[in-house]
Amino acid sequence: MSNERGPRIEAGQILNPDCFPPPNELVCIQVPKVFDQVALRDCITRTVCLKSSGERCQHPVFTYEGATDFNIVEVKVISKTDSLTKPGYKRLKLFVKLKYRIHYSDGIEQLEQIDEASFNLTINEIYCPSCIAQVGVIKAPDNFWDGPKKKTHDPDGTLIKVEALAEAFNDVLNQATGMLTIDIGVFFIVKCECVVQLLMPAYGYCPVPPEQIVTHAQTCKSFNDKTKTPFPTKFFPDQKWNPLDKREFSE
């Protein structure tokens, strides 16, 4: 039974940290820890020939409408050089490729075209030590922890992750020929990570959220009767109990 009068603990920003209760357990989690990160920017100019909708449009009049859906599709570590003066620090050269979608019109139809922009990045200095514990560690699959980011594994066990915010601007279009010139500006954050185990204070498992009210017609009346089949409040096994040795306090 939940304690409605007690503090409600859920994910979100803490507005009053001093009023937040202390954690109730220590947990060991395995996560990609960020050892260091570097922010940089780069910009390139792309020239793209827009295509018309074919025979239906013999005399196209092109109109550029914007570029969206920027996505990192490739990251390669070209070189990684050790610092001569600072142990664990590296100089990196990276190749990063972004794919995006160009939206335009030929005067008859709304069209879109895929284009790619490639960047060669140089990271002058980043703390990127080799991961020591590799024997017996099951490495995450390639699609693990993936999202709007891209990463690459190195033989020393480190992960080089690249995040990006991209925008197209300074567009110049020849409406008769469809030749489009745009600048692609990108803000990059390059991170050096290693999968490690961390000991973290925690408040236990995340609580089950309130059940959503379903308004459409339902079948399985007995199952949907909340008085007979309440929504379970436990989705995970019990945390291992680790009481302190009472003998430590009796000495």
pLDDT at residue 24 is higher than 90: no
Q: What is the pLDDT of residue 6?
A: 52
Tens-place pLDDT, residues 177-226: 889 999 999 999 999 998 889 999 988 888 888 888 877 767 888 888 88
Backbone angles phi, psi at 88, to 5 degrees: 90, -15
Tens-place pLDDT, residues 71-105: 999 999 999 999 999 999 999 999 999 999 999 99
On average, the pLDDT of the chain sits at 83
Q: What is the pLDDT of residue 106?
A: 87
Of 193, 194, 189, the residue nearest 38 (C-alpha): 189
∠22-24-27 over CA atoms, to 5°? 115
Q: What is the pLDDT of residue 17?
A: 75
The pTM of this model reads 0.75
State mean pLDDT over 121-140.
Answer: 73
